[in-house]
Amino acid sequence: MQALINARVLTPRGLETGLSVRLQGDAIVDVTRAEQSLHDCELIDLDGLVLAPGFIDLQVNGGGDVLFNDAPNVEALRRIASAHRRFGTTGMLPTLISSDRDVLRAAIDAVRTAMATSVASLLGIHIEGPFIAAARKGVHDPRTFRDIDKADIDLMAAPGHGRTLLTLAPEQVDHARIAQLCQHGIIVAAGHTDASYEVTRAALDAGMSGFTHLFNAMSPLQGRAPGVVGAALEDRSSWCGIIVDGQHVHPAALRIALAAKPRGKVVLVTDAMPPVGGKRNDFRLGGRVITCRDGRCTTVDGVLAGSCLDMASAVRNTVHLLDVPLAEALRMASTYPAAVLGLDKSHGQIAAGYRADLVALDGALEVRSVWCGGIREQHVTAAARAN
C-alpha cells in the first residue's frame, strides 16, 4: 500500500493540506488525516505538490507524433495515451475525425482490443463526424460526409469499447435518430454545425447532451438568431467542451460562457494533434500539411486544425487567462468530464473506492508525477528543471 503525504489535495471542499491518500492496486483506499498510523504503507512525500484527480480529455486526435485517423490500431493508441499521460491525462477518448465506415470500424475495434488488453488511459472513443455540416466543416474532409443509418448506429452501439461520444450536426440528423442514439447509451454532442437555435433546442429535447469545442465550427450567438452558441449557453443541463489555448476562442468569450453555464457544465478539452508529446511540429491530415507553430495548428492557408495543447497547459491557461481558481480549473479537467461520461462514481475524485488515477503538480502547474491505475510515472519537464 502507498500513502501519499504532504500534498495539497483536491477535495470537494477545495485544496486541503494535512491529508494522507492511501492507494492499493488500482484503487484509492481512503483519504485520512496524515497523523493517523501509516506503518503498513510505503510513504511518498509529495513535498507540498498539488495532488488532483488524473485529467480526463474527451477529445484527443493524436499525440506522440501519431494521428488516430492514420493509424486506428492498438499500438497507435498506446503511443497516444503514453504521450498524454506525461501531461497528467489518465483518461481519454481517442478521437476519430470524419472518415468512412471501414476506418470507423477499425477504430472501434482497436479501442475494444486496447481496452481488453489493459492499455492505460482509454475510456472509450469520440467519433467526430462524418454526420456534420459542410458549412462548418473546418478541416474535416467533406467527401466523407454522409447520412447516419442503422449500420452506423449498430457499429457505435456495440459493446466492449467503453463510452462512445458522437459529435454531429443536429440539422443533418433526424431528431428521432438522435433519440435512438441516446437510447443506445451513446453520448451525443453538437459540433461542426450551422443549425439554428430552434433546431438545436429540438435536438437537446431529443436527448443531445453537449457541445463540442464551444464557439468553434458552430453558428454564433446573434441578437435575432441565437444559433448553436445561444442554445448552448441558455441550456442549464447540457455540458460544453472548451479549448483554452488562447487561439481557438478569445478569453472574454470563454469567461462569458463560464458565467452563463451552471458550475460543472464546462469541461476542458485539448483537441490535441500528433505534436503533443511528440518530436515533430508538422503532420498530415487527409493529405494536407498541418504545422504547429506559436501555439497554433493550421493548414498552409491558416485554417485551425486541432491544437498543440496538452491538458496541464489547459489547466494553467484556465487559471491565468480566465481567472478561474485552481481548484475549479482542476475539476474542469477531471471531475466534470468524468460526469459527462457517466463515470463520476469511479473517476474524477480523490475519495475511497475511486480509481487511483492522480496527478501531482508543482507551483508552476507543471506535472511532476502521474498515477494511472495506481502505477506511478515521474516526470520533470524542462520548465520544472529550469526552476
- Binding site, annotated residues for substrate: 139, 216-217, 224, 248, 304-306
Contacts of 320 (CB under 8 A, 6+ apart): none
Tell me the Cα Rg of the chain: 20
Nearest residue to 286 via CA among 106, 96, 84, 57? 96
Q: How far, in Å, CA of 371 to CA of 26, rounded?
A: 9
Contacts of 260 (CB under 8 A, 6+ apart): 233, 234
Nearest residue to 91 via CA among 353, 335, 278, 264? 335
Residue 271 annotated to the active site: yes
Q: How far, in Å, CA of 269 to CA of 241, rounded?
A: 6
Per the annotation, binding residues for Zn(2+) are: 128, 192, 213
Cis? peptide before 130, omega within 30° of 0:
yes
Q: Residue type at 196? A: S
Per the annotation, binding residues are: 128, 139, 192, 213, 216-217, 224, 248, 304-306
Q: How far, in Å, CA of 64 to CA of 84, rounded?
A: 8
Cell of 215: 464557439
Is 210 within 8 Å of 189 (Cβ atoms)?
A: yes
Interhelix angle for 101-116 vs 150-157, to 10°? 10
- Catalytic annotation, pick one of 152, 194, 235, 271: 271
Active site positions, annotated: 271
